[in-house]
Amino acid sequence: MRVLAIASQKGGVGKTATTVNLAAGLALMGSRVVVVDLDPQAQASKALGIRLEGGTIQNSLGFALQAAVQSVPTDLRRYVMDRSEILTKWGAEGTLMLLASEDATMSNAQHLLHTAGPDKATLLRGLLTQLADDLDFAVIDTPPSVGALPAQALAASDYAIGLCSHEYQTLEGAVAMKATLRYVTQRTGGAADPLYLGAVLNKCNPVSKWKRQEVDVRNGMVEAGLLPLISEIRADDRISGSYASQAPAVIQFGNHEPGKRYAALLQELFVRMDTPEAEWEIAPTADAQLAALETRREKAVISV
């Protein structure tokens, strides 16, 4: 099973949308996938149609983490919820599972993990190995903070990607996340060594709508060594609107731009997973793109 963490230390950048759409996209391709919702806000769970409340709170991944951190034998499989019904529109052969979150239980788990310290750094990693024979991918949604839960996500992961949007502060969050990755191997005593796959530009605009801030962020992603992916996700109301219908945009709009962009992103991530970093194609700076566009315009004028 390959484990991918979607992480940034800045909120509002689109981690949850990226998580559920990449996971659903993998399932549509025939993979067996689980979404791991580590955010106390439980947005990934809600995006897949699950709200834990009342008697269903006992299904929270937070309870599993609380038990495990206190050395109580924990069978993670009993917490897995099947959301494959979301895929029925496409007749996909894959499966889409969920380890759901809930505010109080996940917040309590975070407190216990913080108190436990480095000795429990690979707790989630160990729990996920229980699912390794039954699944092909786990995609982890992380909270926007520096703390025990994001640390568990990175230590559990084989791969990690960052996110930026057209706002300056999201660049800082992606840089901080990449820097944190450097300490994962040391913190886990070599048990974890996640590969950084680069940063995705999310909620972005076509070149005709670029403003100074987006140009600066695009330039900054390259200059800061974030290894931005060529594939980017454009701002699109269909993506955020999909929360209301509890099915990711890649499922509802698979043949439209949201579905096609997430599919392209998945294909590029596969390439980066399986090839050396030196062979990756890196997105150019905004300045380079604008210069290339101007050159094409000049050539077009001359040809006329």
Q: Are strands 159-164 and 233-234 parallel, antiparallel or unpaired?
A: unpaired
* CATH code (residue 193): 3.40.50.300
For 276-290, give one letter per residue: b (16+ CB within 10 A) or e.
eeeeeeebbbbeebe
- Cα separation, 178 vs 197, in Å, equals 10
Residues of the chain with pLDDT under 70: 90, 303-304
Instruction: Read off the tokens for 264.
Output: 């392209």
Q: What pLDDT is recorded for position 187?
A: 85
Q: What pLDDT is recorded for position 302?
A: 75
Q: What pLDDT is recorded for position 303?
A: 66
Q: What pLDDT is recorded for position 304?
A: 53
pTM higher than 0.85 for the full model?
Answer: yes
Instruction: Read off the tokens for 109.
Output: 């788990």
Q: What pLDDT is recorded for position 72?
A: 94
Q: What pLDDT is recorded for position 269?
A: 98
The structural domain count of the chain equals 1
- Domain of residue 158: give its range: 2-303
